[in-house]
Structure 1
């Protein structure tokens, strides 16, 4: 079992990198999510962070960097890399097609009308319906955050 570390807020590149690591690099990988790069454990391999070997380099996103570093040549993974790149960086490098733009604004909901009519009532409604949990201390990766191994 080896430990891999990345930033806590999961976005497209980080999620795709974790999938790639588990699928093609290290099937027994365990992931640690940190809010500060200084909190990366000494035994962990950091990825998708500033200044690390397996992060963004030049025009590449971290997913592409991992493919290059481990010399993975599977054309399907490289096609996925293009999708991840466009979703993460949106720099037009691969000229990904865009979906159609809406021709008009979507219909307003009853909730939209209530919010404009009386914003204080709307906030009170939200407070009654949304339960906010107190912050929990970090105790390591949650069991559901580790990705199960791919079936053989």
Structure 2
């Protein structure tokens, strides 16, 4: 499956591709696009967009996209539970 996010990744957009390839989709192809083109490019290349405003895999309230992936895919590995607050803290004000 193709996955796409905004170019110039910061902590959440660096952690999410690792999470996708390690725990969700080992054959994933991760693509990056300018923010204003990410949703359109997702349609063009048949990709799932993430960490892009207005899509399913994004921030919700005080949670970052990494948190949403954990919840959506019921990922309970103890190591993920340890690093999630670190990623959230570096990416948000929480």
Query: Same-fold call, TM > 0.5?
Result: yes
The TM-score, its normalising length taken from structure 1, stands at: 0.56
Q: Judging changes above 3 Å, is the alpha-carbon distance between structure 1 residues 38 and 24 closer, same or farther for their aligned structure 2 residues?
A: closer
Matching residue of 2:26: 27
Matching residue of 2:59: 56
Q: Which has the higher contact order (CA 8 A, sep 6+)?
A: 2
**Structure richer in helix, relative to its length:** 2
**Structure richer in strand, relative to its length:** 2
**Paired residue secondary structure (2:31):** strand
Which runs of no fewer than 5 residues in structure 1 stay unpaired? 92-152
Which runs of no fewer than 5 residues in structure 2 stay unpaired? none
**Paired residue secondary structure (1:27):** coil
Q: Please give the root-mean-square deviation of Cα atoms over the aligned residues, in Å.
A: 1.1
Residue of structure 2 aligned with 1:47, choices 23, 45, 50: 50
Matching residue of 1:87: 90
| Contact residue 58 and residue 65 of structure 2 kept, 8 A | yes
- TM-fit CA distance, 1:64: 0.3
- TM-fit CA distance, 1:81: 0.7
Matching residue of 1:7: 6
Aligned length: 90
